[in-house]
């Protein structure tokens, strides 16, 4: 068993396609939606939350919620849409927020049960409901923000 903490490659503050603003217990990342940047924000989420003492299960849940919100934003707005991803550890849990520029395209839940073995899609927001009950969508000056609080386990 390896008792050393995992090491992560540092993500540059500014790079092609994203701009990072670190915070004491989180970050804000301006990025254009792409598979490369999704990998980067997932890795940054993992490193940030583990450093803040969040359990590996909590990290996995935050990454799953963030990936679902990211995917929904790309589906609504298109590839390379400008996004702002925010992850922050607070007293009540882990905040995951995602901004996109289209206020008119709101997330919606498909009528697909979570346990439907035949479903190929449509369960994402139902999973977000389970992991971050009470998530909300707020209009912002740049579009909308989906805001989720994942309770600490």
Profile the chain (153 residues) by mean pLDDT over runs of 10 residues: 50 67 92 88 94 95 94 88 95 95 78 61 76 92 94 82
The pLDDT assigned to 7 comes to: 53
Q: Please answer whether residues 143 and 106 qualify as being in contact, where contact means their C-beta atoms are separated by less than 8 angstroms.
A: no
The pLDDT assigned to 115 comes to: 63
The pLDDT assigned to 55 comes to: 95
């Amino acid at each position: 068993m390896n008792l050393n903490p995992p090491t992560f490659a540092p993500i540059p503050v500014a790079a092609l396609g994203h701009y990072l603003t670190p915070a004491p217990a989180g970050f804000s990342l301006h990025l254009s939606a792409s598979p490369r940047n999704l990998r980067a924000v997932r890795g940054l989420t993992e490193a940030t939350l583990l450093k803040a003492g969040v359990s590996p299960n909590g990290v996995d849940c935050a990454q799953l919620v963030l990936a679902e919100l990211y995917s929904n934003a790309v589906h609504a707005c298109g590839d390379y849409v400008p996004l702002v991803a925010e992850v922050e550890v607070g007293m009540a849990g882990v905040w995951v927020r995602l901004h996109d520029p289209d206020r008119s395209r709101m997330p919606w839940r498909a009528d697909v049960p979570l346990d439907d073995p035949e479903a190929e899609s449509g369960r994402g927001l139902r999973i977000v409901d389970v992991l971050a009950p009470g998530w909300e969508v707020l209009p912002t000056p740049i579009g909308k923000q989906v805001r989720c609080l994942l309770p600490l386990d």
